[in-house]
Amino acid sequence: MLVHIKDIISKAQKEGYAVAAFNTFNLETTLAIVKGAMNKNSPVIIQVSETTIQYAGLKPITHIVKTIAKNEAVKIPVALHLDHGKSFRSVAECISAGFSSIHIDASDLPYDENVALTKQATHYAHKHKCWAQGELGNILGQKDVDAGLTEKDTERYMTDPEQAEKFIKQTEINTLAPSVGAMHGLFPGKEKIDQERLKKIHEKTKVPLVLHGASGVSNEDIKEAIKNVVVVINIDTSLRQEFSRSLRETLMSNVHEIDPRKILTPPMAAVQKAVEEKVEIFGSTNRS
């Protein structure tokens, strides 16, 4: 069933587990996410990025998620969220489309500009009964690794707990995406969560924390982060990797198959399996 994100996050916060926010980009991934979550009897957040909106169209992808949530996910709560919205326009369009939560990511801007845009988007979201996520600090990714950033460098991109406290007061966001050592993409061994920083951010802010870039974070670090009050965990790369790996294998071992439904069935199963594994680690099994 389609629910407001606040229902999912409030329950997770009260009961002490984390909910996965999986990125979708098409019908197949959305179905696989929902089937995986249903098998685990787990709540789930399905999120779309601006790149997915460009690829699939806002209305088509919204309808895919909503209709699957309503008609397939009959026994589990599903919430729809915008991931890394970079502009007010993007946020406003998703709110009109019926999202219950948006992420305004102005973290690349200087602090005051980040506050101004986040505040504007948050006030608009609240006026429309929608939750808003803000981002402070820089969550690094492939281009930063390519630029040769070392672990020492990454520290200065992390969120400052004192500044986070001020940011929450100024913007009134509902959830915060801090930078604490995870990176967008898979960089095994390079992604180490600064648990002390996470604890301090929680103490200072008290808002539900969202761990971005979790695909390459070790299970131990994830579990510790949940103890340190991460309530939502974003997973994108792991699902895309599983989808693509399985698709490649399927095509290579069935070179004459021309029925896309047959070709796309194994990738869906691979995504579903990855979803089930993550949900189990995050502790949201049987919490629907």
Alpha-carbon distance of 14 to 229, in angstroms, equals 11
Q: Return the closest-CA partner of residue 46 out of 10, 16, 70, 11.
A: 70
Question: Is there binding between residue 215 and ligand G3H (CB under 6 A)?
Answer: yes
Greatest CA separation for the chain = 60
Q: Which stretch binds ligand G3H (CB under 6 A): 26-34, 88-96, 115-123, 211-219?
A: 211-219
Rounded CA separation 68/107 (Å) = 32
By beta-carbon proximity to ligand G3H, the closer residue of 23 and 284 is: 23
Q: Which residues contact 45 (CB under 8 A, 6 or more apart)?
A: 5, 8, 19, 20, 21, 22, 78, 79, 80, 81, 101, 232
Q: Does 236 bind ligand G3H (CB under 6 A)?
A: yes
Q: Is 212 in the site for Zn ion (CB under 5 A)?
A: yes
Active site residues: 83
**215 contact, one of Zn ion, ligand G3H, none, CB 5-8 Å limit per kind:** ligand G3H
Residue 78 has phi, psi (to 5 degrees) of -130, 130
- Measure the CA angle with vertex 275, ends 35 and 74; round to 5°: 25
Q: According to the binding rule CB under 6 A, does residue 107 interact with ligand G3H?
A: no
Stretch (H or E) spanning 180: none
Q: Please provide the DSSP assignment of 67-117 as one string.
A: HHHHHT-TTS-EEEEEEEE-SHHHHHHHHHHT-SEEEE--TTS-HHHHHHH
Instruction: State the number of binding residues for ligand G3H (CB under 6 A).
Output: 15
**Counting contacts by CB under 6 A, is residue 184 touching ligand G3H?**
yes
Among 50, 83, 93, 221, binds ligand G3H (CB under 6 A): 83
103 interacts with Zn ion by CB under 5 A: no
CB nearer to Zn ion: give 76 or 121: 121
Binders of ligand G3H among residues 153 to 172 (CB under 6 A) are: none
- Give CA–CA dist 94/78, Å, rounded: 16
* Chain position carrying tokens 């926010």: 21
Shortest CB 216 distance to ligand G3H, Å: 6
Please answer whether residues 182 and 191 qualify as being in contact, where contact means their C-beta atoms are separated by less than 8 angstroms: yes
**Residue in the structure block whose two tokens are 């029925």:** 259
d(CA 45, CA 42): 10
Return the number of the residue (21 or 268) whose C-beta is nearest ligand G3H: 21
Select from 3-11, 123-131, 233-241, 272-280 the region that touches ligand G3H (CB under 6 A).
Answer: 233-241
Is 237 a binding residue for ligand G3H by CB under 6 A? The answer is: yes
Among residues 36, 178, 185, 208, which is the contact residue for ligand G3H, using CB under 6 A? 185
By CB under 5 A, is residue 40 in contact with Zn ion?
no
Nearer to Zn ion, 8 or 82 (CB): 82
Binding mask 71-90 for Zn ion (x = CB under 5 A): --------------------
Query: Binder to ligand G3H among 235, 268, 270, 271 (CB under 6 A)?
Result: 235
Cβ 54 to Zn ion shortest distance, Å: 17
Using CB under 6 A, list all residues that contact ligand G3H. Answer: 23, 83-84, 184-185, 212-216, 234-238
Using CB under 5 A, list all residues that contact Zn ion. Answer: 212
